Amino acid sequence: MEILSRRVERLGFFRPIIRQAQPRDNDIELMRQRYQLQVPYETLYGMSSDEARSLFSQGNSEEVLTQIFTRYKELERHCDFILCEGSDLTGLATPLEFDFNAQMANQIDAPVVVVANSFQKTREETLDLAQLLRESFEDEGCHLLAIMLNRVSRDIIDGVQSDVLQQWTHSTPVYALPEEESLSRPTIRRVAQALNARLLSGTHGNLNRLVRDYKVAAMNLANFLSRVQDGSLVITPGDRADLIVGTLAAFQSTSLPKVSGLILTGGLEPAPVVSRLIKGFEDTLPIYSVETDTYETATRVGDVADTIAPGNRPKVAAALGHFEKHVDVQKLESQIEIARSERITPVMFQYDLIERAQAEKKRVVLPEAMDERILRATEILLRRNVVDITLLGRESEIRLLAD
């Protein structure tokens, strides 16, 4: 999007399938706000994963593609270029998600930039992954622009880049991006949002501190402090004044690790005298309160997935800088052609016919009303509001067969 925003005035962003309609999808909101997309949020996705799973389970995969393609074409009317992000088919098998994304790319005739998760993979596994992805997408007839090997371990990044230069013989460029902790760890603000936590204390700058791990404080203070690390998120009951004060002291100290924040569990808040102590610090540790108990809170913290929130400018800047450092942006930009496709896929052809029929709606009389194929076709046409249909036959018999 950053590359395209330099060249395209009416830029669009589209996700075929999102996890759920509400709350709003983070990636869509990020793109809408950063690039000031002048279209409603609801036009930037095809359907929710629940809707898609329901149709897939009924064997209606073509209907999924058709509905999403229709939404895409509606957005296309308002944009000069649309960047389409892969689907979120949470709960479905990986092969199904791959097949769907490949089919979707073909239906809208969009070239593909593959982003592969190389986290915790060996040097050999990483290059094998690039080869597998290239073969898989090309076997599906997709046009590959580039392959991004994301989150490659810094221990092997030089070796992977060397392997790409020496062993990669294909025209599709491959870029290896090393693991960047500032992008893979959530901020204390993100964790608090996921927990629906209430802020008791904390300055704005400290809310963007990274959470590298979490520690449940249930032992005595001396043992606890010996286990704290830089970036630890401390979880403790709200009535443990000793641990609260000790954590505050550790945060202010120059000789102990700097914790990222403190979450008080059980809906309990510090005693008044402890609250006054907290207010006396200039550089205030982020302190949140949650209603859940310590065990449930720790479990939920462990499940928090990191995102780049729309308002987190430092993280946005870090992501862009990381990308520009490891990707040949000029080469990638030169491969992106802003032109209307001349390729016609079956879904494109069907969409064009329906659009023309809707523009000049007619009434069609069908005499073979007792044929199930005719009834199925009638249902589809009526749902798409393509034509008005008159079925010839006994109404009671037709209704019985239709039901």
Rounded Cα distance, 384 and 266, in Å: 52
Confidence at 317, pLDDT banded by 50, 70, 90: confident
- Which has the minimum average pLDDT: 84-93, 138-147, 176-185, 305-314? 84-93
Average the pLDDT over each of 116-125, 178-187, 203-212, 375-384 and give the range with the smallest value.
375-384
Distances (CA, A) of 384 to 11, 54, 354, 361, 379: 28, 19, 8, 12, 9
Average per-residue pLDDT for the chain: 84
Task: Summarize pLDDT for 165-184 with one digit per residue, the tens.
Answer: 888 888 889 999 999 888 88
- The pLDDT assigned to 83 comes to 94
CA distances from 179 to 184, 191, 210, 316 (A): 8, 21, 15, 16
Kindly report, residue by residue over 322-336, the tens digit of the pLDDT: 888 899 988 888 887
pLDDT at 395: 85
pLDDT of residue 12: 93
Cβ proximity of 63 and 23 under 8 Å: no
pLDDT digits (tens, 9 = 90+) for 190-249: 899 889 999 988 876 678 788 998 999 888 888 888 888 899 999 999 989 999 998 888
Q: Hey, what are 137's tokens?
A: 């997408």
**pLDDT on residue 340:** 44
The pLDDT > 90 percentage for the chain reads: 29
Nearest Cα to Cα of residue 140 among 107, 103, 115, 109 = 103
Q: Give the integer Cα–Cα distance in Å for 262 and 281.
A: 15
Instruction: Label residue 318 by pLDDT band (50, 70, 90).
Output: confident
CA–CA separation, 313 vs 208, rounded Å?
10
Residues with Cβ < 8 Å from 102, sequence gap 6 or more?
136, 137, 140, 142
- Work out the average pLDDT over 157-168: 88
Strand partners, 148: 115, 175
Tens digits of residue pLDDT in 349-363:
655 666 677 677 888
What pLDDT score was predicted for residue 350? 58
pLDDT tier, 341 (very low <50, low <70, confident <90, very high otherwise): very low
39 pLDDT more than 60: yes
Name the band, by pLDDT with cuts 50, 70 and 90, for residue 337. Answer: low
> What integer pLDDT is reported at residue 88 of this predicted model?
59
Residue 251: band (very low, low, confident or very high) from pLDDT cuts 50, 70, 90 = confident
Q: Mean pLDDT throughout 21-37?
A: 89
CA angle 229, 234, 236 (to 5 degrees): 145
What is the chain's alpha carbon radius of gyration, rounded to the nearest angstrom?
A: 27
- pLDDT tens per residue across span 256-314: 888 999 999 999 888 888 888 888 876 678 999 999 999 999 999 988 877 888 877 77
Sequence-ordered list of residues with C-beta below 8 angstroms from that of 312, at least 6 positions apart, any chain:
187, 189, 208
- Does the pLDDT value for residue 31 go beyond 90? yes
Cα 46 to Cα 185: distance, rounded to the nearest angstrom: 29
**Residue showing tokens 């009434």:** 363
358-385 burial, b at 16+ Cβ within 10 Å, e below that, comes to eeeeeeeebeebeeeebbeebeebeeee
Are 73 and 356 a contacting pair, CB within 8 Å? no
Beta strand pairing status for 11-18 and 81-84?
parallel
User: How many CA atoms does the CB half-sphere of 223 hold within 13 Å?
Assistant: 5
**What is the average per-residue pLDDT within 75-87?**
90
All domains in the chain, ordered by first residue = 2-184+310-335 (3.40.50.300), 188-302 (3.40.1390.20), 361-402 (no CATH)
Distance CA(70)–CA(91), nearest Å, equals: 24
